[in-house]
Chain A
Amino acid sequence: MLVSRAGVLTAMGVGPFALFALLFLLLPTSNLLIGAFQDGDGTPTWANIAGLLTPSVIAAFRVSIIVSAVSAVLGAAAGLAVALALRGDAIPQVIRQAVLTVSGVASNFAGVPLAFAFLATLGRTGLVTVILKSWFGVDLYASGFNLLSIVGLVFTYLYFQMPLMVLVIMPAVEGVKRDWAEAAAMLGASPAQFMLRIVAPVLAPSVIGAALLLFANAFGAVATAYALTGSSVNLVTILLFAQIRGDVLHDPNLGYALALGMVVVTGLCNVAYLRLRAFSDRRLR
């Protein structure tokens, strides 16, 4: 049989990568997801999926979805505002570059150290808590705030969500051409009309898509929440983490079902994201 040179080179280049991805990404994940439909002996069952419908699991998914959605929406709104503020040449190049670098740092500053930073700032003896109390007489914790709560978690997640939004949405915002604003002005539109009729529809798919990305980002996060709240906030990832570590009742197959539930949620998000991106790419090349 004749094998083309291109075929050989393709196999040599893509082969190892494909094998690796198969072994360490596709197989482990699919194997796990199949496990969600098996019992301990490998017999097919719906029991694990049914197990997801217990109040504690449902509550965990609910809290996870709330924290992720709220931090995604707020992060997307704030990040979009920052990106819009950086648009054009109204802001000096140096500041613009600094903001982008800081965004790169902050969006990667997640996990354990971020939790420490917020504990030291908004914890019971944190800097801002203390200053508000002693200088302004505002007692955050007496007024119901708690860093180790859903609100506190959202506030902490925003630290990486907002900068991530800036980085993800900046290209789309830069894609809004100065010519369009001038054309709109020439046609008699006010800046508000330009924003409403052109900028908003043009950016909408990218913004929604980016928000979905932020959602998935928060939904899968473990370290920040774990270091911040231990297990006092009932997130799916924390629940699964505890399951795997065997801290609580050890039931691997329920764990697989939890994993399946997570993949379904983030998978839906990403499918929506890809569709939106393809849609906006088609119109805005």
Chain B
Amino acid sequence: MKGGTLWRRIVLGVMGLYLFVPLLGVAEFSLRMRRGVYSFDAFAAVFADGRFRETFLYSSALAVVTVVIGMVLIVPAAYAVRLYAPRLRAMVEFVTLLPLVVPAIVIVFGYMRLFGSQSWLPLTDTEIGSDALLAFGYVILALPYLYRSVDAGLTSMDVRNLTEAAESLGARPWTIMLRVVLPNIRTALLSGAFLTAAIVLGEFTFASLLNRPGFGPYMQLLGANRAYEPAALSLVAFALTWGLMVLIGAFSGRRTGA
């Protein structure tokens, strides 16, 4: 019964068009900087801007720090919950889903109250404190995605049997974590890391309200003051997101049958 393929094509076609046209629009716009002819001037201007490089590097570094902190916290927690404390599971899952309930702007507002200059731990008073707070915030934002990918990775590796096998061979917990668990969930870790990077790189609310020189606020600022550069920047951001998603697909598709 292949009769139903026409409506399928129409639906997918409309979706494709809707997703593609804005990219076409922004691409066309980005080439219009020089009067009368299409040129890559806007891209040149963007790449020549020192602020572009600075903010991009800043956000990239932050993405790496976020992923590292996130993994160090989440992997042992997910592992311990699964192996030794299944009763805590519902609780931990609830906490990891909270960032989907509490809007980012509320969380960062809470940081400003709890870690502001008049608070018991005035993190926002120093540069390094603010940077750390931003990274912590990003860990929270990425929590739902990181936890789920780690947990899925642990599910697919049959963590209990492997742990017991390693223990029967005399391995200590530290060794098991480093040499058994981590290597087996590395594809899950990688896809979680790329997804986190996609979220962190262009993030606006946290960086802006904590006054950090992130890529998101830079894009917003540029958009408020320029015409063509933001269009070029938008395409760059899209290409970046695309690249990260393709990497996720590539790594999760190549999951070894361990």
* Touching chains A and B, CB distance < 8 Å: yes
Roughly how many angstroms separate A81 CA and B81 CA in the complex, as a whole number?
A: 38
Judging by beta carbons under 8 Å apart, are B21 and A29 in contact?
no
Judging by beta carbons under 8 Å apart, are A112 and B202 in contact?
yes
Across the interface, which residues of A come within 8 angstroms of B24, CB to CB?
121, 127
Query: Does A135 touch B at the CB level, under 8 Å?
Result: no
Judging by beta carbons under 8 Å apart, are A10 and B97 in contact?
no
Across the interface, which residues of B come within 8 angstroms of A82, CB to CB?
11-12, 15
Across the interface, name the chain A residue whose C-beta is closest to B218. A112
Report if A17-B8 is in contact (Cβ < 8 Å); known contacts: A32-B113, A113-B234, A120-B25.
no
Judging by beta carbons under 8 Å apart, are B204 and A25 in contact?
no
Report if A262-B248 is in contact (Cβ < 8 Å); known contacts: A9-B80, A162-B15.
no
Across the interface, which residues of B come within 8 angstroms of A219, CB to CB?
103
Query: Does B45 touch A at the CB level, under 8 Å?
Result: no
Judging by beta carbons under 8 Å apart, are A104 and B19 in contact?
no
Report if A266-B101 is in contact (Cβ < 8 Å); known contacts: A16-B73, A101-B246, A259-B109.
yes
Across the interface, which residues of B come within 8 angstroms of A117, CB to CB?
22-23, 25-26, 231, 234, 238
Query: Does B67 touch A at the CB level, under 8 Å?
Result: no
Judging by beta carbons under 8 Å apart, are A78 and B15 in contact?
yes
Across the interface, name the chain A residue whose C-beta is closest to B87. A10
Judging by beta carbons under 8 Å apart, are B106 and A17 in contact?
no
Query: Does B162 touch A at the CB level, under 8 Å?
Result: no
Across the interface, name the chain B residue whose C-beta is closest to A13. B80
Judging by beta carbons under 8 Å apart, are B76 and A245 in contact?
no
Judging by beta carbons under 8 Å apart, are B2 and A90 in contact?
yes
Query: Does A46 touch B at the CB level, under 8 Å?
Result: no
Across the interface, which residues of B come within 8 angstroms of A153, CB to CB?
none
Nearest-CB distance from A187 to chain B (Å)? Answer: 16
Roughly how many angstroms separate A7 CA and B5 CA in the complex, as a whole number?
A: 57
Nearest-CB distance from B199 to chain A (Å)? Answer: 7
Across the interface, name the chain A residue whose C-beta is closest to B92. A14
B198-215 to A contact mask, C-beta < 8 Å, 1/0:
110011110001000000
Roughly how many angstroms separate A78 CA and B105 CA in the complex, as a whole number?
A: 28
Judging by beta carbons under 8 Å apart, are A105 and B103 in contact?
no
Roughly how many angstroms separate A263 CA and B107 CA in the complex, as a whole number?
A: 10
B136 is contacted by which of A24, A81, A109, A116 (Cβ under 8 Å)? Answer: A24
Chain A positions 216-248 with a Cβ under 8 Å from a chain B Cβ: 216, 219-220, 222-223, 226-227, 230, 237, 240-241, 244-245
Report if A116-B76 is in contact (Cβ < 8 Å); known contacts: A28-B107, A28-B111, A111-B216.
no
Query: Does B242 touch A at the CB level, under 8 Å?
Result: yes
Chain A positions 21-73 with a Cβ under 8 Å from a chain B Cβ: 21, 23-29, 31-32, 35
Judging by beta carbons under 8 Å apart, are B106 and A13 in contact?
no
Roughly how many angstroms separate A245 CA and B16 CA in the complex, as a whole number?
A: 38
Query: Does B98 touch A at the CB level, under 8 Å?
Result: yes
Query: Does B74 touch A at the CB level, under 8 Å?
Result: yes
Query: Does B77 touch A at the CB level, under 8 Å?
Result: yes
Report if A237-B241 is in contact (Cβ < 8 Å); known contacts: A112-B223, A116-B223.
no
Could you list 18 examples of A-B contacts with CB < 8 Å?
A: A14-B77, A14-B80, A16-B72, A17-B77, A28-B107, A31-B110, A101-B245, A101-B249, A106-B19, A113-B202, A120-B22, A128-B21, A159-B18, A162-B15, A220-B105, A223-B205, A237-B103, A252-B113
Further contacts, 20 of them, CB under 8 A, given A91-B12, A121-B24:
A12-B76, A14-B85, A14-B92, A24-B136, A26-B98, A28-B115, A35-B113, A105-B242, A109-B241, A112-B219, A112-B234, A116-B234, A121-B22, A126-B29, A128-B25, A219-B103, A223-B202, A223-B204, A244-B105, A255-B109
